[in-house]
Structure formats: C-alpha cells, structure tokens
Amino acid sequence: MNPKLNTRIYIAGHRGMVGSAIWRALEAKGYSNLIGTSSSELDLRNQAAVHDFFTNEKPEVVIDAAARVGGILANASFPYQFLMENMQIQNNLIDEALKLDVQKFIFLGSSCIYPKLAPQPLKEDYLLTGPLEPTNEWYAVAKITGVKTCEAIRKQFGKDFSSLMPTNLYGPFDNFDLNTSHVLPAMIRKLHEAKQSTVDGQQSTVTLWGTGSPMREFLFVEDLAEAVIFALENNLGDNLYNVGTGEDLSIKDLALLIQKIVGHTGEIIWDSSKPDGTPRKLMDVSKMTQAGWKAKTGLEEGIRKTYAWFLKNQENFKEVKI
C-alpha cells in the first residue's frame, strides 16, 4: 500500500520509548490520523476488548510496539507472564488485523530472538538454528512466535505483514531505574549521580559490572522510528529484517564515552566478579541497507541527546514494575 497522510495508523504501545518515538516521527512527517490507547483504556491481553477496539476504530495500518519487557531479574522471576502476556498481546493484534483486512502490519521484536551462540554478525537466517540465551528465553520465544505468525500470514494470504528486529535501543523516554534498566541508561544515571557527589573534593568513583570487554551495538530510538516509517512507506520484499547500525564497541569504551559526555572525572572500577554476559551481539543489517534504509545518528550524538533528555526529566523517570 501507499499510505496517505490521513491513513488510520494504530500504534500499539504508543506511550513507551519505542512507540512514542514512532508517534513523534509520524507526526513530524505530517501523518494526521494516528490512533493510540493507554493500557488502562485497552488491555491488549483481552481478546474481546481488542476485537471491539478494531471493529470501532478500523485501523488501516497497525504498528506493534507493545510488549511486556524487563531485565534479567524480571524475566527470571516471571517466566510465565513474559511468555504468555507477550503472546496474548501480539496474537490479539495480529489476528484482528488479519480478520479486519488491515493493509499493513509492522511487528517489532528484539535481537534476543537469535540463538545465544549464533555466528557474528547475526543474520536473519540464523533464527531457530540453536538454543536461546536462558536469561530472556521466555520473552524471546514469544517474539519468535510473532515473527513466524506474520510470516505465515504473508505466505498464506499474501498480506504485507513484516517484522523488524532492532538491536539494543536507547534514547528519550528510556528506563533509568537502576534496578531494571539496560546498560546504557544505567551508566548515564550512575555517572551523573557520581558527578554530583564529591568526597574530599573528588567526584565519586563508579563501580560497573564485569570486565568491560563484551561488545555491544546500540541504536538511537529515533532511528528505529525512521526505519518503521521506511517499512510503512515501502513494500519490504521479505518478512524479517534486522535494524541496527552494524557497528559495535566494548562496554568499557561505552562507559568512557558516556563519562566524557556527562563530565564525570572520578574513577571507574570494574567488578570482574560480576557476569559479563554474551561476549558479542552484533547485527548484520545488510538486508535493510539493501532495501534502502540506514541508521544516521552516531553513538556520541545519540547519547548527548539522551543525556539532555535525562537532565530535563529526572523527576519523571519511567520505572518498570515487575
């Protein structure tokens, strides 16, 4: 389809970091018929409620940025909820979109769908070729079912349902709760708070987990939003596409970059008794590049924008309840 600026576009999860970035990007391009509901207004786990919503709103495009998310502790503590609730959310959305002849469906997942020990960089073809990372396998299995459901619809009904798998995301409206946040926002908060704290005239030291040697890739969330708009405005020829920068750096180099941006001058101590996690997790983004899209925000620029947002919103941190 060729969407018009008044095409009815439903963004599930529009208040989260990803969904809100997509909403802002669509508005900036002039899309004027955006639909969003809060979780208190619509429980996406409720099949009947989702059916009624689709019947009343009649979206022409659905972007699924809704999910139950959390870190290692949350995944380990609530495996059933992470598996079942994510499947309920995406199954209800995908099934109603099919039944009501939605023209385009964009499903957002995560790079954790790929096997723990898959070769680097991660290609789309590596899906289901080996065991998953145990710490988030419940979430990953749910997302894999979403990818395969969209693939089945594409294969059986010829409909434009596609799946985008982003790498590690960061940006405005990220989660900075130190108990549940991911590594990049956690570093921003830790280094900022250490900068604000001095001992004998020296800024406080910061202790970070592991050795700093693992390699990670990071994508600014506003770039992901642009990738979603690219998928909206173009007919992607396949079901599954990785979305990332295709570049990574060590966790230690990430910490030093954030330390420079924040202006922290104290010492960083690495606690090597804590786990490092997977040594490397880099996405092969050649398929998306060949389709015509490429990330444009450099890591330093993206972190500076994220830190500026952090400074303005310290009283309103998004916290993930588990």
36 is in an annotated binding site: no
Omega before 121 cis (within 30°)?
A: yes
Active-site residue 139, yes or no?
A: yes
Cα 118 vs. chain centroid, distance in angstroms? 20
Strand partners, 250: 215
Sheet holding 34-35, edge to edge: 34-35, 9-12, 61-64, 104-108, 160-166, 240-243
Catalytic residue among 10, 31, 114, 139: 139
17 is in an annotated binding site: yes
Q: Residue 212, Cβ neighbours under 10 Å: how many? A: 17
190 is in an annotated binding site: yes
167 is in an annotated binding site: yes
C-alpha–C-alpha distance, residues 257 and 268, integer Å = 12
* SS3 call for 209: strand
206 is in an annotated binding site: no
Q: How many CA atoms lie within 13 A of 69 on its CB side?
A: 21
109 is in an annotated binding site: yes
52 is in an annotated binding site: no
- Strands 198-199, 202-203: parallel, antiparallel or unpaired by DSSP? antiparallel
316 is in an annotated binding site: no
C-alpha–C-alpha distance, residues 89 and 97, integer Å = 12
266 is in an annotated binding site: no
18 is in an annotated binding site: yes
Q: Which phi and psi angles does 209 have, rounded to 5°?
A: -75, 145
309 is in an annotated binding site: no
C-alpha–C-alpha distance, residues 138 and 153, integer Å = 23
19 is in an annotated binding site: yes
286 is in an annotated binding site: no
Would you name the residues annotated as active-site residues?
A: 139
Binding-site residues for NADP(+) sit at 13-19, 108-111, 143, 166-169, 182
Binding-site residues sit at 13-19, 108-111, 143, 166-169, 182, 190, 209, 216, 276
Binding-site residues for substrate sit at 190, 209, 216, 276
